[in-house]
Structure 1
Amino acid sequence: MKSIVILGGSFSGVSTAHRILKQTAKTGPVKIILVSPNTHFYWNIAAPRALVPGQVADDKIFQPIAPGFSQYPASQFEFIVASAKNVDFVAKKVVISGSAGNKTLDYDFLILATGSSTRADTPFKTLGSTEATRDALHDFQARVKKSKTIVVAGAGATGVETAGELSFEYGQQKEIILITSGPTILEGAIASVSKTAIDLLQSLKVDIKLQTKIIGSAQTPDGRQELTLSDGDKLITDMYIPTFGVRPNSSYAPTKYLNTDGFVMVDDYLKVKGVEDVWAIGDVSDLEPPQFMFANKQSAHLAKNIILILSNKKPLPYKSGTRGMGVQIGRKAGTGYLGSIKLPGFLVSMLRKNLFIDNMGPTVTGSAF
């Protein structure tokens, strides 16, 4: 029986574990060990809306991981709440650290799916444990509720959705300011999508400041934030929410296998370059942007290749997906694109109106795969 260790209990790790286990009738049994510092799966796609008090209950975005795998015998699946500390790719060993201390796992195959974190330690990603993420989310909700002025910094998808959710909920009750260093919002999107996003945010009374950087932040005596802007102006706000910048969770991996930004370097088969029997998918990989649709595509492809390898067949090269983006702006509008095509706003809004929350349960139980 082959031992497959999967590091990471977010979407990439959980979905790949289910996909492999559901297909092992073709290959004979394997033993999957899923390692995650989080007891619960976190549907962080909905984080921009969850920051708004009363909008998303905890059990709608946090679901325990272990019960989702109860359908598999203990001989085929084990869940360990721990963090990866280091990996020896030559000896095929992983050192993990949990409540019981350090433990060494041997593997035949290893899948790195540890995801990424926000540079500002905000609850748009997990924060080291389920408890820490939940506590941070509750703290944000409390601060949003009492704040009259909120500055959202960074105008990628997360920043745009966050500003839209806040403004949709509070309208004229709170001043919502979106700041970006770029010449537009949603940089990298086709121009018409960026323009539509600006129009939708402005219709919600979001104050958008383009080509502006926040170069300093200091707390005032009354507990507010004084932001120093690149043009020399000062901006006093009750709450400051940075949404820019992610860092890969790859500190356990030898640096020779990481690029200059810390992402794990992979080849056309999603294999870690220069290593046998180790793959990396999702946010921690250097292959594609850290987006849900790419993580899902990579997970499905890797699971298929693992089954092929276990069946003594050749794996297939991965074909990168078409670039695209969809953003929900408020709860009734959206915009997005796929390749060079702008998607109809009603279609994006229809697909994203609940930020895919209904998909969390089937993901954790595996019925989605």
Structure 2
Amino acid sequence: MSDTQNFIVLGGSGGGLNIAHSFLKYMEPELKKLGKTYHLYIVDSSSHFFWNTGSPRSLVSATLLPTEKLFVPIADGFNSYDASLYTIIHGTAISWDVEGRTVTIKLAADEATQTLPYYALVLATGTRSPSPATSLHGNHMLSKAALEDLNNKIPSATSVIVAGGGPTGVEVAGEIGHFLNGSAGWFSSRPANPKAKVTLITKSDTLLPVLSKPRALTAETYLNKVGVDVVYNISVVSSTTDADGKTTVNLSNGEQWTADVYIPAWGTTPNTEYVPADLKNDQGYIKTNPTTLRIDAAGSRVYVAGDVGDYSRGGYHSLYTATPILAANIRRDLLAAAAPDETSVPDRLFTANNTETQAVPIGPRGVGAVNGWSLPSFLIWLLKGRDYMVGNALKTVHGRMV
């Protein structure tokens, strides 16, 4: 085992799992033929993958989208491989020694630490939103509990505040509005007998900044049709939950509002606390070569997969575009190191898609575009809004997306 090299993937996100499966399916067999032995380590703070794409519907009602469909054990996805080739570690990266080429993990079981040397390293630790209901905050049980708490509160709520005008905030507000208030008919702008006052707050002067202004205005119209009011140019400064369960939010305009349910959905924070400061930008995202997806400043064979890199726009569209290119470059580097006289493969280059591309379900409707071309509302419902593509959770964990 002394000649075995460690291939470490930090993060069981979609990007991390896709790279792990690519390595075991395709790269490891090729390298083995060249006489090279590798061991894959997958490290994640959660034992389960979270399909948080489906959380806007699941947080409203477990009947509409059962929470168990959102959480898939990571270990189950690797049972088809030789167990001697990989190790799954339930723990959190707490430090990274770039010069020494090691990462230190705090184990979830007993909080002991383990330091692993690496030959190749993929950083795929992702991002987190303010609420564990819409992203992992460590152990998946925190997210499951947050979803169940909202399942208990929302059906009886008469007032709901959602903060955030991006796709998560709009989808959450749309699902809640539709569940509580129903939907207006063809010739009505609002539901006839709304049960709850649902308010979506955004600090911007528009919704869904990736989309054009006309499509953003259509999104507001669709929100109105499920009884959601949109308030622009204010943000939540702080919030306090009372003993009776109601939440009071302090707004940037000096006002205080109180609601039965408050859901923060106003942005993401990269999970990069373990990354040295000089390798991150001002927002905490990892500085990544935007074409090769390597971290050039971190030495050889160090890469970024997914939202944690500064090259990514976020979301699965960006991930599915970048992952095959990243996998090809990792394969290229490992083969070149294993057989430098026989292997000469050029890099594959990634080009970010900065066009207007996004799909946002809003209750029974939706807005979106692909490469600037508008998608009809019924198609957004069919492709995403019908079940929030929850079938992709199993496919991701089991490597069927590779």
Which band: TM-score by shorter chain?
Answer: over 0.9
Matches within 5 A, 1:59-78: 59-78=68-87
Corresponding residue for 2:362?
329
| Separation in structure 1 between the aligned mates of residue 114 and residue 242 of structure 2, nearest angstrom | 46
| Separation in structure 1 between the aligned mates of residue 68 and residue 244 of structure 2, nearest angstrom | 35
Q: Does 1:8 align with 2:11?
A: yes
Q: Deviations over 1:20-44 (max 9, x none)?
A: 2211233336321100111111100
| Separation in structure 1 between the aligned mates of residue 127 and residue 16 of structure 2, nearest angstrom | 13
Q: Which moved more, 1:200-209 or 1:342-351?
A: 342-351
**Correspondent of 1:136 among 136, 143, 146:** 146
Corresponding residue for 2:280?
258
Matched residue SS, 2:320: helix
Matches within 5 A, 1:71-150: 71-98=80-107, 99-100=109-110, 101-118=112-129, 120-150=130-160
Corresponding residue for 2:44?
36
| Separation in structure 2 between the aligned mates of residue 248 and residue 12 of structure 1, nearest angstrom | 14
What percent of counterpart residues are identical?
A: 29
Corresponding residue for 2:316?
292
Contact 1:159 1:243 in 2 (8 A): yes
- Consecutive unaligned residues in structure 2, runs of 5 or more: 182-193, 337-344
Closer, same or farther in 2 for the Cα pair 1:345/1:139, shift >3 Å?
same
Q: Is the radius of gyration larger for structure 1 or structure 2?
A: 2
Q: CA RMSD in A?
A: 1.8
Deviation at 1:216, TM superposition (A): 4.2
Matches within 5 A, 1:1-369: 1-24=4-27, 25-28=29-32, 30-53=38-61, 54-98=63-107, 99-100=109-110, 101-118=112-129, 120-171=130-181, 172-219=194-241, 222-267=244-289, 268-276=291-299, 277-312=301-336, 313-323=345-355, 324-330=357-363, 332-352=364-384, 353-369=386-402
- Consecutive unaligned residues in structure 1, runs of 5 or more: none
Q: Which moved more, 1:206-215 or 1:348-357?
A: 206-215
Matched residue SS, 2:393: helix
Contact 1:52 1:144 in 2 (8 A): yes
Deviation at 1:154, TM superposition (A): 0.9
Aligned AA for 2:49?
Answer: F
Q: Which moved more, 1:275-284 or 1:141-150?
A: 141-150
Matched residue SS, 2:174: helix
Contact 1:217 1:228 in 2 (8 A): yes
Matched residue SS, 1:75: helix
Corresponding residue for 2:185?
none
Q: TM-score, structure 1 length as denominator?
A: 0.94
Q: Deviations over 1:186-244 (max 9, x none)?
A: 12311221021111111111111122333443445644223333444432211111100
Q: Deviations over 1:40-68 (max 9, x none)?
A: 11100011111112222122101111011
Q: TM-score, structure 2 length as denominator?
A: 0.87
Q: Which moved more, 1:308-317 or 1:173-182?
A: 308-317
Q: Deviations over 1:50-107 (max 9, x none)?
A: 1112222122101111011011112222111111011112211111111241111111
Q: Deviations over 1:310-333 (max 9, x none)?
A: 222333222212441110111x21
| Separation in structure 2 between the aligned mates of residue 86 and residue 43 of structure 1, nearest angstrom | 27
